[in-house]
Copies of this chain bind each other. A is one copy, B any other.
Amino acid sequence: MSHTSTQIQLVSRPHGWPTPDDFRTATVEYGDLAPGQVRVRNEFISVDPYMRGRMIDTRSYIPPFRLDETMTGGAVGRVVETTVDELPVGTLVSHQYGWRDIVQEDAAGFRALPEPPAGASSSVYLGVLGMTGLTAYVGLLTIAKMAPGDTVFVSGAAGAVGTAVGQIAHLKGAKRVIGSAGSAEKVALLTDRYGFDAAFDYKDGPVRKQLREAAPDGIDVYFDNVGGDHLEAALDSFNDGGRAALCGAIAQYNATSRTPGPSNMANIITRGLTLTGFTIGHYFDQAADFNREMGAWFADGEVVHDETVVDGIENSVDAFLGLMRGANTGKMVVRIN
């Protein structure tokens, strides 16, 4: 008996902004389970900015997507058929077989999850209780070494990682947390809902000037999701000994030529700054600490988690393109109906 899966494949490597023509929806037939395999029906799949990097063929920490093959990425789903005792039917699992509705693979590729906390759907494991939250936690605390009393600046702060960074910063004793976002609505959410002390719309004027006004006493930590003029502004506002965690550079992801770096790199020397790039795959050893702390914060209502949900596997390319444009607040996920 065969099982039909709808999957999204990359058919051409985007130059500049990706378009729907770079992808296709394919129908894949799975046969019966081989020993050791499980079949999982995805509930939510994740679209993330880093996936843009995997669409081009370049040296990176993670291999590029292959053309004419189904893309991969974070997802949560439920076991619907199984050959292994450890993953009985009905088990909620997280895994990297995103961009499809049904997946059938060796059990080793899946990790069993507890049921989500009351009031949350399983998508929380793609967001604040998943890789997104871990990225915020590791970047802020391990990479940028935020300490109580620090002033923290977060770019792209209304995104999934950014909203988590801002909240963790306050929970860990930051003195002042400042965020940038790309619309007045997002800026309002940053202060009203996510507890940022100040926020600005980077489209309203030079980031350098807006950051200086929002952080008249300078910043100690910068969590960078954007790069470009945001990084340059941070270098300008850093106090001595400042630390930047470089997590993303969405401003550059769709650039068609190399864009110059900040013109004020000399500040790194004169102010004794540290810039550290990271990708979360190297920091899974911190997942236990993260799960304990973030799980407690979330259960106690100290961290809010928002999502932008797009329905239907057939709309996942639109969800990804929307993410690139900043159409989301919080975590962008695709719900598999």
Contacts and interface: CB of A to CB of B under 8 A. Distances in A.
What copy number does this chain have within its complex?
2
Contact of A271 (B249, B260, B277): B277
A336 to B, nearest CB: 30
Interface stretch (A191-199, A261-269, A299-307): A261-269
Band of interface residues on A: 35 or more
A257 B205 CA distance: 22
A302 to B, nearest CB: 29
Contacts of A252: 266
A265 B59 CA distance: 14
Main secondary structure of the interface of A (DSSP, over half): loop
- Which of A59, A231, A247, A270 gathers the greatest number of chain B CB atoms within 10 Å? A270
A259 interface: yes
Contacts of A30: none
B231 A272 contact: no
Contacts of A53: 270
Contacts of A51: none
A166 interface: no
A270 B277 contact: yes
Interface string A288-316: 00000000000000000000000000000
Top-7 shortest CB links A-B: A261-B261, A260-B260, A268-B277, A258-B263, A269-B277, A274-B276, A261-B262
Interface of A: 53, 59-61, 227, 231-232, 240, 246-249, 252, 258-279, 282
